[in-house]
Amino acid sequence: MHLFEPLKKLEILKDVYLLSEFVTPFENQLLNDLHVVIQTAPLRQMMTPSGFPMSVTTVNCGQLGWISDKKGYRYSSVDPLSNKPWPAMPESFKQLAQHAASTAGFADFEADACLINCYQPNTKMGLHQDKDEQDFTQPIVSVSLGVPAMFQIGGFKRSDKALKLPLYHGDVLVWGGESRLRFHGVLPIKAAVHPAFGERRINLTFRKAG
Ligand code: MD3
Ligand code: FE
């Protein structure tokens, strides 16, 4: 017997949507494909322009990948570790991102970049804006996997008060429109264990970068 569950869709702020457990129907294929991607191109610590290693480890898949080094933040079509193109974006990734965006009301989203961030206990990401993309009319889709995280969603100045939002394995957050340039970050990850991911949290961030 099929039990049809209602879609859990919550508008947290104008143009910021939380789709709880949205990953579930894609999960098996998505985790297989994620495994292949990170075997093909390794997670590594990028260096900030100021010369410190980022606390997350990072890799990309798709036509473009977000990179950071002493020259700054930007998108590149090649992995600087290998000088080869990033792994292709798996179909399961594209479908999940497009379906999440359309569910949140953003039609025809076609991600050309997927940034994969890996967090260990105590890893954090400070408040920042995503502004390295060409077209801010396009939304961003963020997929949370593994142990929980406490997100911070701020305003349009770094000093604006941020709200805290817990995100769990399988949650998808979509934001665009008036919220596209909000400051956001991730508080230090609390030690916990997820059956498939151990102590790690992996976030997939889908963007139309080019
Ligand atoms: C913006 N990564 O890599 S997006 C990044 O969990 C990054 O690794 C996050 O920020 C991560 O640039 C995922 C976080 C996010 C969440 C909610 C927002 C950004 C937001 C709400 C409004 C605007
Ligand atoms: Fe960001």
**Ligand 1 contact via 16 beta carbon (within 6 Å):** yes
Neighbours of 131 (CB within 10 A): 9
For a mutational test of ligand 1's pocket, the pick from 15, 115, 173, 179, i.e. the residue with the most ligand atoms closer than 8 A to its C-beta, is: 173
Between CA 68 and CA 50 the distance in angstroms is 10
Query: pLDDT tens across 94-122, in order?
Result: 999 999 999 999 999 999 999 999 999 99
pTM across the whole model: 0.96
* Pocket flag, ligand 1, residue 123 (CB < 6 Å): no
Rounded to 5 degrees, what are φ and ψ at 149?
Answer: -135, 155
What atom in ligand 1 is closest to the CA of residue 58? 3
Does residue 174 have its Cβ closer than 6 Å to ligand 1? no
pLDDT, one tens digit per residue, over 7-33 is: 899 999 999 999 999 999 999 999 999
HSE of 154, CA atoms in CB hemisphere, 13 A: 17
Q: How far is the CA of 199 from the centre of ligand 1 (A)?
A: 20
Assess whether pLDDT exceeds 80 at residue 3. no
Mean pLDDT of 84-97: 98
Residue 118's nearest CA partner among 22, 194, 181 is 194
45 falls in which pLDDT band (50, 70, 90)?
very high
The pLDDT, as a whole number, for residue 122 is 97
Ligand nearest to the CA of 56: 1
Question: Which helix (H) or strand (E) is 178 found in, with range?
Answer: none
The CB of 138 under 6 Å from ligand 1? The reply is no
Residue 183 has pLDDT above 80, yes or no: yes
- pLDDT score at 117: 98
Residue 42 neighbours by CB under 8 Å, 6+ apart: 59, 81
pLDDT of amino acid 4? 76
